[in-house]
Amino acid sequence: MKAGLTFMTAGILVAALGASSTALGQSDEVTEQIELGLELYQEQEYGAAITELEFAIGDIRKLMSARIGETFPEPPEGWSAAEVASSGGGGAAAMFGGGGSMLEREYQQEGGEGRLTAKLMIDNPMIQAMSAMFNNPAMIAAQPNMERIRIGRDSALLKWQPERGSAEVSFLMDGRILMQIDGQGLEASDPAVELLEAWDLDAVREQAAR
């Protein structure tokens, strides 16, 4: 079954990439990996073919991850930001493979103690648990310091602990994309909420399309 699915994926990839590589008059590394994988398959070198195609799929996932990383909001005035990075133990490529990985970006308040971490998860197993929370007002009400807020016309969850200067804003998109802003050392929850509001939601949806 795994081999069948891999070669079905390969066929789709070749159809999608073949036209573009022909138009450019050259093949990139991913295209070469796919073509080699198909050649090995035709030669009945199945193990080597699967390996080659999985490398190609991994490289494509990295490209997708990089594009999604470009959607992260720029630092607000008075803040600086690090590069987007992967976490969760599986690397950026695992983000789309069900491995529970995520992308994140750190923000630091200039001349202050405030820190913000923007996180993005797609098709992650923990999203199901969060989905139950979003759709249950009673569960929200039972959580200390948690309330529903608006991000445009959509709902988000804000947990603000003023005694700790800690904020967490969570936004669930299309039932499979979870975006979170975690804040520490804050005087108010506003920086966390405003950073989420600055996220390009349409770009996230476009880049995360299946």
What are the pLDDT digits (tens) for 97-110?
A: 444 468 999 999 99
3-class secondary structure, 187:
coil
Residue 87: what pLDDT?
A: 62
Tell me the two tokens of residue 60: 């494509």
CA–CA separation, 134 and 114 (whole Å): 27
From the list 32, 71, 57, the residue with the least C-alpha distance to 198 is 71
The domain locations on the chain are 2-67, 74-207
Which of 55 and 90 is assigned the larger pLDDT?
Answer: 55
Mean of the per-residue pLDDT values of the chain: 81
Compute the average pLDDT of residues 111-122: 93
User: Which has more confidence, 158 or 19?
Assistant: 158
74-207 CATH choice from 3.40.1000, 1.10.150, 2.60.40, 1.10.1660: 3.40.1000
Q: State how far the alpha carbon of 144 is from the alpha carbons of 85, 98, 135, 136, 188, in Å.
A: 31, 31, 17, 15, 17
Work out the pLDDT band at 210, boundaries 50, 70, 90.
low
Say if CB 133 and CB 147 are below 8 A apart: no
Arithmetic mean of pLDDT, 37-53 = 91
Q: What is the pLDDT of residue 101?
A: 63
| Buried-state track 166-200, b at ≥16 Cβ within 10 A, e below 16 | bbbbbbbbeeebbbbbbbeebeebebbbebbbebe
Express each pLDDT in 9-18 by its tens digit: 455 454 444 4
Residue bearing tokens 């979870």: 178
